[in-house]
Amino acid sequence: MAPLPWPAAASLLAAGGTLLLIRYLRQYRGKPGADWFLASLSFQTVWSAAYGVALLTFAEPIRWALEVVSWAGMAGTGVYFLAFALAYTGRGHLVERWWRGFLGFPILIGLIGATNPVHGLAWVDFTVVPVAGMAGATYDMRLWATVAATIGVLSITVGSLVLFDTVVSYGPLYRREAVAVGLSTIPPVVAVLVWIYGLGPVPEVNFATVMFLPHVALDAYAFAGSDMFEFHPATRRVGERAAIDDLGAPVVIVDEQRRVVTLNGAAESSFGVPKAAALTRPLDELFGEGSVDPTATDDTVTVQTEGRQRIYAVTATSLSDAGGTHVGYTVVFQDVTAERRREQRLAVLNRVLRHNLRNDMTVVRGFTEAAAERVDDAETRSMLDRAAAKSTELVALGENARTVERVLDSDPRSERVALADLLGAVRDEHVDGDEGTTVSVDASDVAVTSDPAVLQVVVGALLENALEHAGEAPTVVLSAERRNGAVAVGVADDGPGVPEHELDVLDADAESALEHGSGLGLWLANWGATTLGGDLAFDTSDGTTATVTVPDGERPESGNVNGNGNGEP
């Protein structure tokens, strides 16, 4: 028995190798692009097998029928490869839009070839030609054959370019796989072009099916050796698109001349403009009378849509291509309408309560004290004294509110401070020589790098709370010690302990109608500790010990602290 001519044997071997690859890749069905790639390989198998048999068949009707099958296989291999490349790289929406064309094209080519004897649109003068022991064929291609071959080649070429674009866009993450599959298409595409234009030494034979051997080898490396369907760029591309499209905040991308390139659905609804109408328009035209400067670091814009006025904080990020050339901006709009209105209401209420309440209650206290001095009735004097005390408490409450605004809203600063000095200053500020009151400081050689103003206010609020609730002759110890890279500042008293309902309020981080703190002191301490990056804890097992633990931003190995000679150990 004579050996098979090598082109026929190579074509049949390529068909067998493709079948093995299909069998392996069936486990990935449902992955992005996998089904389309399996379809492309199936048509590749049909093409290779049909053409391999055709090279051994000299009977003209059978040879003609196998040629028709080969053409249908070539059409399906090309367009389904393009569909695979689009879906695999995260462009599946394009495939969904054109899926009927992808499915119908090889069927159409097969039908045109099968009915060619009736209309002659594919080719004429089909003749079987013996070539080196094989059944070659010659025919004059007509329009449909040329169109089919061109679409097949273009589909594979575009698909390869899409894969190579993945290499450029996403770097090494998918590089080996995409390069392998992209390169695998070159041998069969070149062979098809040589055959169509009669450039080779044997124009009667199409060597594309022979070139499927390196094609299958490279595909096997990409999919079996490198797990191409285990890690695919569709996840990243779809994720990047969803990060903008699904974002609740409006996002607009503009070019370097600030013309709209694209915008997400939130921008369409927020600004009352459809994407089609917004594209290529200047960014400022989206906002009526407002304007946006992408180069500004702190910008806001007011937008009037559907009778409502919204305020947006604008954050812009410059866009540059791979060569570093500036190409535009990504502009994100954050709706701050409710926040700005709340800030305005709070500012008005704070000014009224802090200023008017303090001033008016000072007047009330003065008149109440004067009235108490002028009455002889003990019961009346007691009531007036109580009213004066409550006035004093309200004035102090206003002062605390003022302290909250002044300290917690100020720009943070950090410096090295000796805690013995800071705690001594707190003691001197809050202890006015009351007999029976004892406040001591135990913070020898302890220092911390933090915001001294905030820390002093926190400790002062805790000390004031201790002096107020620790009884007739309170004893309070202000201490500081180092704990695992942080500094713990304690305020311990011998009183009855902070009421549980006040600690519960701090734990819940909210005031309620049934359970609330008696003032701003503990809130001020709690907020201040958070501002310092620390935390506030209470121990009421024996009196009350409030501990503020703050991180130490710096711990010098040697030297003085604030020039007072108190170095850290």
Look at the block and give the residue holding tokens 């004035």: 395
Same domain, 223 and 326: no
Positive or negative, the CA dihedral 508, 509, 515, 521 is positive
Give residue 63's pLDDT: 94
Same domain, 254 and 267: yes
Predicted structure pTM score: 0.52
List beta partners, residue 334. Answer: 313
Has residue 564 been placed in a domain? Answer: no
Same domain, 18 and 152: yes
Same domain, 222 and 326: no
423-447 burial, b if ≥16 CB within 10 A, otherwise e?
beebbeebeeeeeebebebebeebb
Joined together, the tokens standing for residue 515 give 């359970």
Whole-angstrom distance between the N-terminal and C-terminal Cα of the chain?
A: 97
Has residue 562 been placed in a domain? Answer: no
The domain that holds 538 is classified in CATH as: 3.30.565.10
Same domain, 309 and 385: no
Domain boundary among 335, 366, 393: 335
Has residue 454 been placed in a domain? Answer: yes
Same domain, 267 and 366: no
Give residue 72's pLDDT: 93
Domain boundary among 335, 365, 380: 335
Same domain, 429 and 355: no
Task: Please provide the DSSP assignment of 225-266 as one string.
Answer: IS-TTTS-HHHHHHHHHHHHHT-SS-EEEEETT-BEEEE-HH
Has residue 569 been placed in a domain? Answer: no
Look at the block and give the residue holding tokens 């109408």: 277
SS3 331: strand
Domain that holds residue 360: 343-407
Give residue 246's pLDDT: 67
The alpha carbon of 458 is separated from its chain's Cα centroid by a whole number of angstroms, namely 37
Positive or negative, the CA dihedral 56, 59, 60, 62 is negative
Same domain, 306 and 190: no
Has residue 560 been placed in a domain? Answer: no
- Mean pLDDT of each 10-residue bin along the chain, 569 residues long: 84 95 89 89 95 95 95 93 86 81 88 92 93 92 87 88 68 64 86 87 92 88 66 57 71 88 85 86 79 79 76 86 79 86 73 70 84 84 84 72 66 86 90 77 89 90 83 86 90 80 63 48 83 88 88 55 38
Q: What are phi and psi of 398, to 5 degrees?
A: -65, -40
Give residue 288's pLDDT: 67
Give residue 264's pLDDT: 86
Same domain, 326 and 213: no
Give residue 92's pLDDT: 77
Give residue 64's pLDDT: 95
Could you tell me which of 256, 272, 243 has the C-alpha nearest to residue 332? 243
Angle at 62 between CA 59 and CA 63, to 5 degrees: 75
Give residue 557's pLDDT: 42
92-101 burial, b if ≥16 CB within 10 A, otherwise e?
beebeeeeee
Kind of pairing, strands 299-305 and 447-450? Answer: unpaired
Same domain, 213 and 308: no
Has residue 447 been placed in a domain? Answer: yes
The domain that holds 169 is classified in CATH as: 1.20.1070
Same domain, 390 and 436: no
Return the amino acid letter for 215.
Answer: H
Q: Residue 114: is it exposed, middle or buried by C-beta count within 10 angstroms (0-12/13-18/19+)?
A: middle
Question: Is 494:543 a contact under the CB 8 Å cutoff?
Answer: yes
Domain boundary among 316, 335, 354: 335
Question: Is 315:334 a contact under the CB 8 Å cutoff?
Answer: yes
Give residue 118's pLDDT: 92
Has residue 242 been placed in a domain? Answer: no
- Calpha distance 407→405 (Å, rounded): 6
The domain that holds 307 is classified in CATH as: 3.30.450.20
Give residue 44's pLDDT: 94
Has residue 563 been placed in a domain? Answer: no
SS3 472: coil
Angle at 166 between CA 160 and CA 169, to 5 degrees: 140
Same domain, 223 and 273: no
Number of domains in the chain: 4
Give residue 569's pLDDT: 34
- Calpha distance 305→298 (Å, rounded): 23
